[in-house]
Amino acid sequence: MISNRVVPGRVIRTVLPAEVADVVALHARARATYYPGGVPQDGTDWTASWRTALTRPDGRVLCLVEAGHIVGLASFRPPEDGPADTVKLFQFHVDPGQWRTGVGTALHAACVEEWRADGRRAALLDVHVDNRRAQGFYRRQGWVAEPAGPGGHHLRMRFALPGE
């Protein structure tokens, strides 16, 4: 388990429950970029959802902090119906003002490091079909689209963790 990982000028650590408002705000900014008509109001209470993610005993929420501000988030846990050696990346967001600065790459590397330490061999995620920028990022990190994803508005991707 990673407690604090220092990247020059940045710290990667576990998000604290008291930071839920900052997490929700970053999440909203990131999601707004791939919904051309605005983020759908589907009734989801994102504050409650993030509080749950932050307190789940089987999950982790990492953040990348720069200059005292959370600029990247990653939430993951085992999938409910998946193999024991697999983890699912449920949320991965970088503040749009920080795109192409290495935040996502550093945060992804920290996730992979933690997954390997936990004995994981694969990771899954579902990415919005309209979020081409994120799909490109994941492909550059080594994620591959699965032929039969969940359909609808998301594409399922898989990541094989590198061996020792």
The CATH number of the domain holding residue 20 is: 3.40.630.30
Choose between 5 and 98: higher pLDDT: 98
Q: Write the pLDDT tens digit of every residue in 94-116.
A: 999 999 999 999 999 999 999 99
Q: Taking residues 42-68, report their average pLDDT.
A: 94
Contact 78, 58 (CB under 8 A): yes
3-state secondary structure of 127: strand
Q: How many distinct structural domains can be found in the chain? A: 1
pLDDT value of position 153: 78
Residue 27: pLDDT band by 50, 70, 90 thresholds?
A: very high
Structural domain that includes position 60: 4-160
User: Is residue 151 scored above 70 in pLDDT?
Assistant: no
User: Is residue 131 scored above 80 in pLDDT?
Assistant: yes
Query: What span, in angstroms and rounded, lies between the C-alpha atoms of 104 and 147?
Result: 25
In eight-state DSSP terms, residue 132 is H
CA neighbours closer than 13 Å in the CB half-sphere of residue 82: 17
Query: What span, in angstroms and rounded, lies between the C-alpha atoms of 129 and 30?
Result: 15
pLDDT value of position 43: 87
User: Is residue 118 scored above 70 in pLDDT?
Assistant: yes
User: Is residue 5 scored above 80 in pLDDT?
Assistant: no
